Structure 1
Amino acid sequence: MKGSQLGEENGRRSYESLRRTAQALETRADIARAALRLFRTRGWAGTTVRDVAREAGVSVPTVYSTYGNKQGLARALADAADLTAGVPRQLAELEAAAADPPRQLAAMAGYDRRLFERAGDVLRLLREAGRIEPELAAVYDDGRVRADETRARVFSSWPDGTLRPGLDLRAATDVYAALCTVDVYTTLTAERGWSPGRVERWWSDALARELLDR
């Protein structure tokens, strides 16, 4: 086979692989969104794997191969929450503001606002159901760990002297976690009448005040 033909063949194989990956991700997203819709309307106890498969337009074996059993669908809830909040958008904003810690904090606050605005009920469902379902508790805890890891990676990318004196990486992550929670968001929007945008702006300002050495 000539070099040009070999290159074309490799290119076709690469694109086919990318298409298969994209299709698998889309299927995963379809299942996650279907699980989210059903859990919201029927609750955890009232939803079966078969229901999710029917809602997603896929076979029951496809759901099992993607997420496992019903407990595994708790991961679908977490995936759906991430999808609604826009993880790719957050990453793009963080990269665009790589040399600007206040802007990065604002990007992170924006992600949390979208997450709690669009999927706060999912997070509360996981947290409450996790009190009696260990698998759900593990999914909720995993989400918190991933959030802490994202924040720690961002903070550790800053030059020395960016954080306030006396704050190390762990303490900075703790401060962020204490400020930006679904409970704070719910209190301010549902009980105090704040708009989601106002919460996001307050978070951005408060994080900069609490974390950055001015």
Structure 2
Amino acid sequence: MTVPVKPKRGYRSLRRSAQASDTRAAVLSAAHDLFIREGWQKTTIAAIARQAGVSAETIYAGFGSKLALLEAVVVASVRGLQPGTALMDQAGPRAVMEAPDQRSQIALFAKDIAEVLRRVAPLMAVVRAAAESEPALKELYVGLHRGRTGNLAMLVDAMLRHGPLRTDRDTAIASLDRLSSPELFLVVTNVEGLSPAQYATWLADALTALLLR
């Protein structure tokens, strides 16, 4: 008598995990498009669910709320092609931290941050606009900027390991924070018409002049 072979539990778990990952990616993609096109107020969970091809219940189960979903979309945009890897652990920022001198660090940073801002700046504009009338969105907006500042402090500390800067540490962090902000990136690209690559060149020149002796 032949005993039926049951599917291995590990295979089923992997399949479920892959399906969950695909569903999450579809929801994030739909939410990204709708938040940018419609803004915070007009974007609904129902609309996101329709575009993603899932139920609203699935979105609530996976993210909890529209606010949490927006935050997840911003984080995913920051991380780009490596959604499971924190930004500072990715190859671009690691190369900046490990570069052999301050000029190389600035050049690599400017190129890398321009690509990050190309992805995330439009979403930060959505958060900023909503933050003007909703306290929870203001808290998210401030928190996202606080996270940026923390990452930039790590860069300044890496630069200081190669020698002193033209300014003190806090001023250097503030200069990086302002010049590489999503808000300024949008002015430079959307209003002035520079490309992200041109912005990166300008940023590298500005930071070199401000920070290096």
Give the TM-score, by structure 2 length. Answer: 0.76
In the other structure, the counterpart of 2:74 is 78
In the other structure, the counterpart of 1:125 is 126
How many angstroms apart in 2 are the aligned matches of 1:138 and 1:25? 28
In the other structure, the counterpart of 2:171 is 171
- Structure 2 residue 170 is matched with structure 1 residue 182: no
How many angstroms apart in 1 are the aligned matches of 2:113 and 2:135? 25
In the other structure, the counterpart of 1:34 is 30
How many angstroms apart in 1 are the aligned matches of 2:196 and 2:46? 36
- Shift in CA distance, 85/186, structure 1 to aligned 2, threshold 3 Å: farther
In the other structure, the counterpart of 2:5 is none
Query: Structure 2: where are the runs of 5+ without partners?
Result: 1-7
In the other structure, the counterpart of 1:56 is 52
How many angstroms apart in 2 are the aligned matches of 1:203 and 1:160? 21
How many angstroms apart in 2 are the aligned matches of 1:18 and 1:156? 41
Aligned length: 201
- Shift in CA distance, 19/148, structure 1 to aligned 2, threshold 3 Å: farther
How many angstroms apart in 2 are the aligned matches of 1:199 and 1:130? 27
How many angstroms apart in 1 are the aligned matches of 2:14 and 2:106? 33
Secondary structure (helix, strand or coil) at the match of 1:164 reads: coil
Deviates more, 1:150-159 or 1:29-38: 150-159
Alignment of 1:135-154 (within 5 A): 135-154=136-155
Note the alpha carbon deviations across 1:58-80, whole angstroms, 9 max, x for none. Answer: 33233112221222222133124
How many angstroms apart in 2 are the aligned matches of 1:179 and 1:171? 12
Structure 1 residue 149: deviation in Å?
1.4
Give the TM-score, by structure 1 length. Answer: 0.75
Structure 1 residue 207: deviation in Å?
1.5
Secondary structure (helix, strand or coil) at the match of 1:162 reads: coil
2:28 and 2:73 in contact (8 A); partners too? yes
In the other structure, the counterpart of 2:95 is 96
- Shift in CA distance, 207/76, structure 1 to aligned 2, threshold 3 Å: same
How many angstroms apart in 2 are the aligned matches of 1:185 and 1:204? 13
Structure 1 residue 120: deviation in Å?
2.6
2:130 and 2:137 in contact (8 A); partners too? yes
Aligned partner letter, 1:147: R
How many angstroms apart in 1 are the aligned matches of 2:138 and 2:66? 14
Structure 1 residue 132: deviation in Å?
0.9
| Coordinate RMSD, CA, aligned | 3.2
Query: Structure 1: where are the runs of 5+ without partners?
Result: 1-8
2:95 and 2:108 in contact (8 A); partners too? no
How many angstroms apart in 1 are the aligned matches of 2:20 and 2:113? 27
How many angstroms apart in 2 are the aligned matches of 1:49 and 1:141? 24
2:188 and 2:194 in contact (8 A); partners too? yes
How many angstroms apart in 2 are the aligned matches of 1:21 and 1:173? 40
1:120 and 1:182 in contact (8 A); partners too? yes
2:93 and 2:112 in contact (8 A); partners too? no
How many angstroms apart in 2 are the aligned matches of 1:166 and 1:44? 39
- Structure 2 residue 207 is matched with structure 1 residue 207: yes
